[in-house]
Amino acid sequence: MFGVAALCLGLGNLGLAEETVVSVSFGKGAWDPAAWVLARNPTVENLGQWVQRDTCIENATPTDPARMSSLEDTLTTMVYREPVAGDWTATATLQFGPGGAPGIVLAQDWAPGADGRPVYGEFYEAIIYARGINLWRHFAREGRRVYERTVFFEFELQPDTPYRFSVQRKGAALEMSIDGRRAGVLLPALPEQLFLGVEGCEGVCQVTDFVVTR
């Protein structure tokens, strides 16, 4: 009987093995930009761009110090072309300079805007910055694009320090974790299928890698 129980347990564990959906290093020559969609936040006109560094990508920022923390001038965001359904964990190695706010994007959809450039529909931004974690929801209300902070968890993070930031979905629950700290929320309206990606804004931000498992 014990042997049968142990066999059943072993087979059950085999069924729980993680599947890697996306695994990307953003080092020079190590990734394919064509597998990603550089998309625009509908409240920001700037599409943004990534600057390739040896071991990472960095959001383009102006040299004028007065504009280096401007959302309009610094926001760069992209999602993987293939959506992910069901439960998953998305993890990125992120680093930010003074004022910077990198993060992980969860987009319901995207489509070409009036100018032909890709633009998000409803989406979430899971952001880290010097004062902790924020989750922002972007959506339409009465014909206008608006956004609201859905979750915040304040604690200190250090600039110019690499952090492993994870966002995990389990049904309607979303949990964000970094440096041993966790913040969670229930989002019953979260779509079954989402486009996942990364972003940097409001200062110099670097993204070293991005992995999605389920």
Instruction: Check whether 158 has a pLDDT greater than 50.
Output: yes
- Residues 6+ away with beta carbon under 8 Å from 156: 130, 131, 132
pLDDT for the residue numbered 122: 94
Q: Which of 127, 141, 105, 137 is nearest to 178 (CA)?
A: 127
CATH value at residue 185: 2.60.120.560
pLDDT tens digits, residue range 32-85? 999 999 999 999 998 999 999 999 999 999 999 889 889 999 999 999 999 999
pLDDT for the residue numbered 9: 39
Q: Per the domain annotation, does 10 fall within a domain?
A: no
Instruction: Check whether 1 has a pLDDT greater than 70.
Output: no
Q: Parallel, antiparallel, or unpaired: how do β-strands 76-80 and 57-59 relate?
A: unpaired
C-alpha pair distances (Å), 111 with each of 14, 39, 119, 152, 169: 39, 9, 6, 29, 24
pLDDT tens digits, residue range 170-193? 999 999 999 999 999 999 999 999
Give the DSSP per-residue string, 109-146.
-EEE-TTSSEEESSEEEEEEETTEEEEEEEEEETTEEE
Q: Per the domain annotation, does 57 fall within a domain?
A: yes
Q: Per the domain annotation, does 7 fall within a domain?
A: no
Domain span at residue 171 reads 20-213
The one-character DSSP state at 68 is T
pLDDT for the residue numbered 180: 93
Q: Per the domain annotation, does 201 fall within a domain?
A: yes
Confidence of residue 199 (pLDDT cuts 50, 70, 90): very high
Cα–Cα distance for residue pair 132/76, rounded to 1 Å: 20
pTM listed for this prediction: 0.91
Residue type, 166: S
Q: Per the domain annotation, does 3 fall within a domain?
A: no
Longest dimension (CA), the chain: 73
Q: Is the separation of the CB atoms in 201 and 69 below 8 Å?
A: no
Total domains in the fold of the chain: 1
Cα–Cα distance for residue pair 1/200, rounded to 1 Å: 56
Q: Which of 177, 44, 156, 175 is nearest to 96 (CA)?
A: 156
Q: Which of 192, 188, 214 is nearest to 89 (CA)?
A: 214
